[in-house]
Amino acid sequence: MNILTQVKENELENLIESNIESHKLVIVDFTAKWCGPCTQINPSIEKLAKEYEGRAEVVTVDIDTDKPAAKKYGIRNIPSVLFFQEGHRVDTIVGVVPYKKFTETTKKHLETSQS
């Protein structure tokens, strides 16, 4: 079951801006259906969305159907997972990495927002 929401550029902008005051972390997975490495990390991204539900907003952007968003954020390689906090990009993970890397990065930024 896919619990991830796929968003377009304008929805992404609204999401990032709407979470500025709430200090909620926004995690964006830039992906494509044809991308093998993207399908490798998809279970990790879904697990991240479940584990941090209510504390972080996890969404995906398909670079084939939303080229403007990919261009705006300088996506050159996929999978690229971007972390936004208070309206700013605070971290980026590119490529296939263990789930632990996603959770460590998420925890780091959640702790930063609480201090």
Active site residues: 35, 38
CA dihedral 23→92→60→11, nearest 10 degrees, is 50
Q: Measured between alpha carbons, how far is 56 from 66 in angstroms, rounded to an integer?
A: 22
Q: Measured between alpha carbons, how far is 73 from 76 in angstroms, rounded to an integer?
A: 9
Residues in the chain: 115
Backbone phi, psi, residue 15, to 5°:
-65, -45
